[in-house]
Amino acid sequence: MAVSELDIRDDPSRLDLFGGYERDDEGELPRTVKLLDAGRLAGRLTDRAHAGRGGSNGHGRRAHAWDPPLPRGANLLVAGGQATTDEMMRRLGSGLWITDLDRGSVELSSGRFRLLFPRARRIRRGRMADSCGAGLLAGDILTALKSVEAGLGREVRTYRALGWCARDGQVVPVGGSAPDVLLRSLAIRSLA
């Protein structure tokens, strides 16, 4: 279970984001799926083959016409909280403030992830300090979700660059938005 404030959904109907679509690759109307509701697992993405009794929720996607559809994400949206950026920096005290992520990977079998960021700013005594170069965040997905602190940022930022998700050799477009989030105990490595 993650912090009770954490709400995450996947919404393919957001056509203003790179992962949006009007129908999935099986002709189904896409539905918004709440993945985490108040920090608890709430739903999953399905296509016709993996839907069970509930039926597909319109997340059957494929990269090419000859590929089989797979349940895939589209636009991952994290709901905002109430904290201001200044409040979050004060609570952080010292650490890194990362505003952009370049790319990443997830190993589904182990539950581990890696996220690359192009630059970050150091936070010292609750204030922005010097810039540092590129780096890598790594950790276990469930541990990272449990380490999200209460008090998410109120400003939700949309990722407008081209995003991609690769699975079983298929690459499909994705998008998303999220507020500022405080995480502790992630492994960080400099790439400079």
In this predicted structure, what is the pLDDT of residue 1?
64
pTM (predicted TM-score): 0.87
> Is 177 a member of any domain?
yes
140 phi-psi bin (left φ>0, alpha ψ -120 to 50, beta other): beta
Strands (E), 59-142: 60-61, 70-71, 75-78, 95-97, 103-107, 112-117, 120-124, 127-132, 135-140
Which domain, by its residues, includes 66? 8-190
> Is 58 a member of any domain?
yes
SS3 131: strand
Q: CA-to-CA distance for 33 and 87, rounded, in angstroms?
A: 31
User: What is the bridge-based pairing of β-strands 170-179 and 75-78?
Assistant: parallel
> Is 1 a member of any domain?
no
> Quick one: pLDDT band at residue 178, thresholds 50, 70, 90?
very high
- What confidence tens digit (pLDDT) does each residue in 87-102 have? 999 999 999 999 888 8
Cα 154 to the center of its chain, rounded Å: 17
In this predicted structure, what is the pLDDT of residue 123?
93
> Is 2 a member of any domain?
no
Q: How many domains does the chain have?
A: 1
Check whether 189 has a pLDDT greater than 90: no
